Amino acid sequence: MTSSRQRLHLILDPEVALPGAQRFRFAQLMLILIGIGCTLVDSIPGIDHQLQMAVEMAIALVGLAFAFEYALRLWCAPDLPRLTWLNPAAARWHWALSPAGIVDLLAILPVTGALTWGMILPPDFAAVMVLLFMLKLSAHTPGARLIGRVIYNERRTLLVVMIMFGIVLIAAATLAHIAERADQPEIFGSIPKALWWAIVTLTTTGYGDVVPQTAFGRIIAGFVMISGIGVLALLAGILATGFSEEVKRRDFVRIWELVARVPLFSGIGAQAIADVVARLKARYFPPGAMVVRRGAPGDSMFFIAAGEVEVRLQPESVILSEGMFFGEMALLDRRPRSADIVTLTSCTMLVLAMPDFFQLAGQHPALAKAIEAEAARRRGDG
Among 30, 40, 89, 97, binds a copy of itself (CB under 8 A): 40
According to the binding rule CB under 8 A, does residue 161 interact with a copy of itself? yes
Segment interacting with a copy of itself (CB under 8 A) among 38-46, 52-60, 93-101, 106-114: 38-46
Q: How far apart are CA 264 and CA 307, in angstroms?
A: 17
Instruction: Find the Cα–Cα–Cα–Cα dihedral 269, 275, 277, 280, rounded to 10°.
Output: -130
Q: State in angstroms the smallest separation of the CB of 288 from a copy of itself.
A: 19
Task: Give the x/- contact pattern for a copy of itself in 44-83, rule: CB under 8 A.
Answer: xx----------------------------------xxxx
According to the binding rule CB under 8 A, does residue 36 interact with a copy of itself? yes
Number of residues that bind a copy of itself (CB under 8 A): 113
Provide the b/e sequence for 79-110 (b: ≥16 CB within 10 Å): bbeeeeeeeeeebbeebbeeeebebbbebbeb
According to the binding rule CB under 8 A, does residue 92 interact with a copy of itself? no
Segment interacting with a copy of itself (CB under 8 A) among 53-61, 110-118, 153-161, 373-381: 153-161
Of residues 121-150, which lie at the interface with a copy of itself (CB under 8 A)? Answer: 124, 126-127, 130-131, 134, 137-138, 141-144, 146-147
Of residues 200-219, which lie at the interface with a copy of itself (CB under 8 A)? Answer: 200-201, 203-209, 211, 218
Is 296:352 a contact under the CB 8 Å cutoff? no
What is residue 382's three-state secondary structure? coil
Amino acid at position 380, single letter: G
According to the binding rule CB under 8 A, does residue 100 interact with a copy of itself? no
Of residues 337-356, which lie at the interface with a copy of itself (CB under 8 A)? Answer: 353-355
Name 183's Cβ contacts closer than 8 Å, sequence gap at least 6: 213, 214, 217
According to the binding rule CB under 8 A, does residue 238 interact with a copy of itself? yes
Measure the CA angle with vertex 281, ends 279 and 285; round to 5°: 155
Strand order in the sheet with 340-343: 290-292, 340-343, 308-312, 318-321
Q: How far apart are CA 342 and CA 13, in angstroms?
A: 31
Bridge partners of residue 301, in order along the sequence: 352
Nearer to a copy of itself, 88 or 308 (CB): 88
φ/ψ of residue 38, rounded to 5: -65, -40
According to the binding rule CB under 8 A, does residue 266 interact with a copy of itself? no
According to the binding rule CB under 8 A, does residue 26 interact with a copy of itself? no
Q: State in angstroms the smallest separation of the CB of 373 from a copy of itself.
A: 15
CA-wise closest residue to 303 among 250, 360, 248:
360
Segment interacting with a copy of itself (CB under 8 A) among 89-97, 98-106, 110-118, 246-254: 246-254
Among 8, 58, 65, 368, binds a copy of itself (CB under 8 A): 368
Q: State in angstroms the smallest separation of the CB of 22 from a copy of itself.
A: 12
Is 214:179 a contact under the CB 8 Å cutoff? yes
What is residue 306's three-state secondary structure? strand
